[in-house]
Amino acid sequence: MKIKEKPSRILFLLIDVIALLLITYACLMPIWHMVMASISNPTSLNTHPGIVYFPLKNVDFNAYKIILQYKKLWSAYGNTILYILCTCVLTAVLTTIAGYIFSRKRFYYRNSFMIIISFTMLFNGGMIPNYIVMKSLHLTDTPLVMIIPGVLSVFNIIIMRTSMENVPTELEEAARIDGATDLRILWSVILPLCKATFAVIMLFAAVAKWNDYFSALLYLPTRRDLYPLQMALREIVITATADVSSSSNLLDLSESSTVYKKAIEYACIVVSTLPILCIYPFVQKYFVTGITMGAVKS
């Protein structure tokens, strides 16, 4: 027997559908606008005042051709991938160890230590003292300055600690009876149950390092060969033609700096965003679980 929906229920569902459609539009339209604008006719794009729903006038991929001919782009891609891999490995090791230590109740003064390290989330030395520290450690103008400062985050430690606290203590006790050490318990018992949180922390670390350009701007003043992707794209957007159009035979140099500048800006955004958009769907299933795992105590 089919149950008839009440008018109030139908109205509620209708409002929900409309609200979700508006949210979806607000989330997807900026990405769609960037992609369509990057392949639009540059002259039409410069005079178009609103959102670009479809390529203007005709499809034009010259903006991407200009970017891809930039010699430093591929080395910057390699630098960024290297920085992400090293940061993720170090973050995984250090955050897991720190989270495990702070989640064990037998660790005396753990609350006192957590208060001390949590203090750094609210207050820090600032940009100039950080630069002085990096300079004193001889890390400036080296690849290590792009890796070491961001490998350990108090926020990630708190998330990992909360997740590990939710693992039943009976599992650890059973492992100890079987003769397992702390390292074996962490690797074989705790981590498999916290893989959602682990995946989210890795995603946070990778995205933060992918979007990081200020560290290179501050700590790599003379080593342009160590620039990450975001700095290379920044140079393309700022110079527009200085290093790019000089190596391109596709465009007239007198027009490329003004006509294609806006299209190049959109193309740079797409190039920097596309890899993250491709990776995110594979870890999205862990995202909500990893963040909310500590919300409900077992």
Per residue in 117-152, pLDDT (tens digit) is: 888 888 877 888 888 888 898 888 888 988 888 888
Cα–Cα distances in angstroms (integers) from residue 186 to residues 32, 164, 169, 291, in the given order: 44, 10, 12, 20
Predicted local distance difference test score (pLDDT) of residue 214 = 86
pLDDT, residue 21, reads 93
Residue 294 has pLDDT above 50, yes or no: no
Compute the mean pLDDT over every residue in the chain, rounded to the nearest whole number. Answer: 80
List the single range of 32-41, 56-65, 90-99 with lowest mean pLDDT: 56-65
Q: What is the percentage of the chain residues whose pLDDT exceeds 90? A: 7
Q: What are the domain boundaries of the chain? A: 1-60, 64-298
Using 50, 70 and 90 to split pLDDT, how confident is the model at 291? low
The model's pLDDT over 192-217, given as tens digits with 9 standing for 90+, comes to: 888 888 888 888 888 888 888 888 88
pLDDT at 257: 52
pLDDT for residue 253: 39
> What is the average pLDDT across 153-171?
85
Query: Which of 1-10, 35-44, 144-153, 175-184 shows the lowest mean pLDDT across its residues?
Result: 1-10
Class of domain 64-298: mainly alpha
> Is the confidence at residue 295, as pLDDT, over 70?
no
Predicted confidence at residue 250, as pLDDT, reads 42
Q: Is the pLDDT of residue 155 over 90?
A: no
- Position 4 confidence tier, pLDDT thresholds 50, 70, 90: low
Average pLDDT over residues 285-289: 62
Q: Which residue has the higher pLDDT, 144 or 72?
A: 144
Q: What is the pLDDT of residues 208-248, one digit of tens each?
A: 888 888 888 889 888 888 888 888 878 777 765 444 444 44
Q: Name the pTM for this structure.
A: 0.76
189 has a pLDDT exceeding 80: yes
Checking if the pLDDT of 296 tops 70, the result is no
What is the pLDDT confidence band of residue 252, given thresholds at 50, 70 and 90? very low
8 A C-beta contact, residue 151 and residue 90: yes
Question: Does residue 255 surpass a pLDDT of 60?
Answer: no
- 258 has pLDDT over 80: no
